[in-house]
A and B are shown apart, each in its own frame.
Chain A
Amino acid sequence: MITRILSRLLQAIPTLAGVAVLVFVLVRVVPGDPVAMMIPPGADADVVARLYAQYGLDKPILTQFVIWAGQALHGDFGMSISLRQGVTGLIFSRLPATLELVAFAATLAVLLGGALAVFGTRYAGRAGEAVVDGLTGFILSVPDFLWGLAFIVGFGVLLPLFPISGRNDPSYSLGLASDFILTESFLRLRWGVTADILAHMTMPAVALALPLAAMIARVLKSSLAEQMAQDYALLSRVKGFSRWHVIVAEALRNAAIPTVSLTGVQVTFLVGGTVLIEKIFSYPGIGSLAIDAVVNRDLPLIQGLILTFAVLFILINLLLDFSYALLDPRLRHG
């Protein structure tokens, strides 16, 4: 198992290096000049030249890459042009917000999707199943983009249950040591703060989770139906176990494998979806940072962020690989 993990981690290195080269080249062929946007009208040529030199944009492209790659290996991704801060520091200060949002949304999606699938299977062929099918169909037919906005109108304005922007109430200082404020406030037993953060995260997380939950519900329900038709499930029923017991305690584990593989890609889409959701809810994570970076043509920041997303996608895929091994004993010993 450990050699498996190590070999997978080693395989990730060339992938990352490839992404880094690709990103560097692509960003350099972008039309539009980032420095031109910072220069006040009528600035003299000396100032302009100094700015180019400051960001290293006056050197040949190969030299720029060698410098950038060397610094990147030391964890230094240069200075953000629009925010005038170190890219690495910016990303690390905003990554925790996105990670907590993704973790919350993924948990919600699994719980909601799982519950819908189990409920639909328990009432297969009856009204309960029709309700589950109708609900998942409805969730999937509305574009993801509109769910977040619909929540803002519905539960933020017309029926103001939740705050519609930000990550926490800015009127008091948090006084926390890390940027994982949800986790840290919970561990420090400051549950008032935790509740406030959760209230801010609920709508973006639900909006992110809904499409994934519907997808999980569909896939899991159909593989549960397959499992319930197997002899072992019938035998359990004959032995007198209740339907709930057979579904939850016996069929679910076997049905989970295809669901994990089919929803694997969807989880990376969930991380990609944070870009838009964070923008919609003015949530201070790396997604909204990415949109601002693109709108401001902030090359160093765009490079750093794309690499960050690439690392996240690779890590998620690794985690999924290992979860197969946990679910399927054949893979563990293979």
Chain B
Amino acid sequence: MANPVPGTLRHALTNWRVLAGGVLLLLLAIAAIFASALAPYDPLDQDLAAQLAAPDWHFGADAHALGTDSLGRDVLSRLIYGSRVALTVAFVAGFLTAIAGTAMGLAAGFFGGWLDAVISRAVDIWSSFPPVLLSIILVALLGTGLWSVVAAIVLIDWTRFCRVVRAETLKQRRLDYVDAAVVAGLRPLAILWREIVPNVLPLALVLLTLEMGLAVVIEAILSFVGLSISSDAPSWGGMIAEGREVVHQAPWVLIGAMLVLLATVLGFNVLGDGLKQELDPVLR
């Protein structure tokens, strides 16, 4: 069987959703990687003479293009550095969630029986809890900090992958090519790994893209309520919390952080929708 992936990729680049989402996220990744070169100020530098300074577009040596916060820290620099936290959580939590959920979904869908019954019941119970409340309770149990946030995201969202991958695995298992593999004498695990996994993977990739956007939001929510990284370190959720406090005097802190968060989430969502169209032969 010829590998269809390169052709699919080339075609995907003609899809405006994939392009728009991809470019947006690429810019964000550049901001995160080269934060120290791009940020005009140290994100932790306090300039108590310039507290809550309004955005200033004169691009002078001491101008704050997006203003400063209540400690005189440069908003633009903090937004740029904040992308590091957001993208770290997006990638680490996204991939871990995808791996955990996909593995459970494959196991439930492929082996069926009591294993499927146990996993499906767990998914049902688990996803009936409100996610925001659950994430706050989980972080309360795990302790605050970035890794607790990642763990909480994996524990909450694995069900999203599990549910979809299980359904897809059930569908694939009934197709003729799996019967053919059985007749050819492949062992069950070989069928799962060589035949079913490659066919489930595109779907998991789409879910992963959407999950990364969700992870960014959950991290922002937990920093907002003060349960993620320390409030000094630049994170978008922390900036939103701070901006909320000074919204009457300095709305730019809140607006800047909100817009960056919104753009990131929309970037992941648009990319995910585009990939769904490209990877699904029916939609394409």
A153 near B254 with CB under 8 A, answer yes
Q: How far is the CA of A201 from the CA of B201 in the complex (A)?
A: 46
Q: Contact string, A288-305, partner B, CB cutoff 8 A, digits 1/0?
A: 001100110100001000
The verdict on A272 contacting chain B, using a C-beta distance below 8 Å, is yes
A294 near B266 with CB under 8 A, answer no
The verdict on B128 contacting chain A, using a C-beta distance below 8 Å, is yes
B251 near A153 with CB under 8 A, answer yes
A145 near B133 with CB under 8 A, answer no
- Report B-chain residues with C-beta under 8 Å of the C-beta of A54: none
- Chain A, Cβ-Cβ closest to B225: A291
The verdict on A191 contacting chain B, using a C-beta distance below 8 Å, is no
Q: How far is the CA of A146 from the CA of B142 in the complex (A)?
A: 26
The verdict on A73 contacting chain B, using a C-beta distance below 8 Å, is no
A157 near B140 with CB under 8 A, answer no
- Chain B, Cβ-Cβ closest to A31: B143
- Report B-chain residues with C-beta under 8 Å of the C-beta of A291: 136, 225
A-B contact count (CB 8 A): 85
Q: How far is the CB of A251 from chain B (nearest CB, A)?
A: 30
Q: Which of A32, A269, A271 contacts B143 (CB 8 A)?
A: A32
The verdict on B255 contacting chain A, using a C-beta distance below 8 Å, is yes
The verdict on A225 contacting chain B, using a C-beta distance below 8 Å, is no
Interface range for B: 20 to 34
> By the criterion of a CB under 8 Å from any partner CB, how many residues of chain A are at the interface?
37
Q: How far is the CB of B267 from chain A (nearest CB, A)?
A: 12
B140 near A30 with CB under 8 A, answer yes
B220 near A279 with CB under 8 A, answer no
- Report A-chain residues with C-beta under 8 Å of the C-beta of B142: 31
B217 near A143 with CB under 8 A, answer yes
Q: Contact string, A12-45, partner B, CB cutoff 8 A, digits 1/0?
A: 0000000000000011011110000000000000
B131 near A272 with CB under 8 A, answer yes
- Report A-chain residues with C-beta under 8 Å of the C-beta of B140: 30, 294, 297, 302
- Report B-chain residues with C-beta under 8 Å of the C-beta of A269: 130-131
Which 7 residue pairs are nearest across A and B when measured between Cβ atoms? A272-B130, A272-B133, A294-B140, A143-B217, A269-B130, A291-B225, A31-B143
Residues of chain B whose beta carbon lies under 8 Å from any beta carbon of chain A: 128-134, 136-137, 139-143, 217, 220-221, 224-227, 240, 244, 247-248, 251, 254-255, 258, 261-262, 265-266, 269
Extra contacts, 5 of them, besides A30-B143, A164-B247, A268-B130 (Cβ < 8 A), are A27-B141, A146-B258, A152-B244, A157-B247, A158-B251
Residues of chain A whose beta carbon lies under 8 Å from any beta carbon of chain B: 26-27, 29-32, 141-143, 145-146, 149-150, 152-153, 156-158, 164, 265, 268-269, 271-273, 275-276, 279-280, 290-291, 294-295, 297, 302, 306, 309
